[in-house]
Amino acid sequence: MLTPTPLMGLVTGFWSFKTLAAAVELDLFTKLHNGLTLTVAQAKQELGLPERPADLLLAACASLGLLEKDGDGYRNSPLAEEFLVRGKPYYFGGQVSYCDQRTYLPWHRIGEALRTDRPLTWDPSTQDSMFDTADPEMLESFWGAMYSTSIFTAQALGRAIDLSGRRRLLDVGGGSGAYPIELCRLLPELSATVLDLPHVCEIAQVNIERADLSGRIGTRPGNFLTDAQLPDGHDVVLFSMILHDWDEPTNQELLTKAYAALPPGGLVVISELLLNADRTGPAPAALMGLNMLVETEGGRNYSDAEYAQWLTRAGFTDVRTVHFDAPGANGAVIATKP
């Protein structure tokens, strides 16, 4: 029998997110690292909460698979222990905090964005883009979120596509450097360059040095939108979670620049949450597209068929799609310069 139960799940979806966000804000999972447990009574003291909220939060986190019950206490689930303990290499709390602080409240006004076709997280009348900000806390939050998401997406990409024999990768809009770091770890013969705005390159350089990869990964300050050409000398050009920020003419121009920068036999890789050809899903790609309405002027998520058309128009051949499962992308569209 058809019931509205699925609709109720959609209606209350924000309950799960805000439970996770509150627990991250309270640093609950860090307090429970290395197998520690908390009873409700102990949580009152550790979290600074009254008894009833402490009890409800712990129960809610357990119901979401973030905590496990151990006698009268609660401990981290393997998922929380691996990804939600602050200071761990693959800490995902940055993504949680960014969405909580940056996009959650603007999404309350999604109707306004639908009616006006204008972003909600920044003002196009005073800023050039969502990345044009002098707020250091917002920058730290954004790039921390992107780094935590990109680490696993880069690993999945590196396992899904064949980059053997490739020597130099250009990461266009490479941000905090997660993709080059993870790909260079997977491929000892690979070196890479991060192309991004000067202040972003500084963030990437810190991560590169922390990964002990300064000898193989460099940064190149620039603006891939306004620079006349992309840096040459690379046999792979990567666009990862970049093209969904821009409209079709901008993306076509970027792919044309990539073609010009690559040598014959060079590879272009587009890693994104790809829509299917009839634009009915999958949900993460379609909803990320709607998030682009909140965050950008012209961005949206595209299908691999659309990317294939643009790549062919730019001159690339042997266009193919590889699918994988990762937080920031579900596949990559790859093509070769003849």
Q: Which residues are catalytic?
A: 244
Structure tokens at 169: 């990768």
Measured from the Cβ of residue 278, the count of other Cβ atoms closer than 10 Å reads: 8
**Of 120, 101, 102, 124, the residue nearest 110 (C-alpha):** 120
CA distance 147 to 174: 10
**CA separation for the pair 129, 211 (Å, rounded):** 30
Distance CA 167, CA 133 (A): 35
Give CA–CA dist 158/18, Å, rounded. Answer: 32
Q: Find tokens 């891939």 and name the residue.
A: 224
User: How many other C-beta atoms lie within 10 A of the C-beta of residue 324?
Assistant: 17
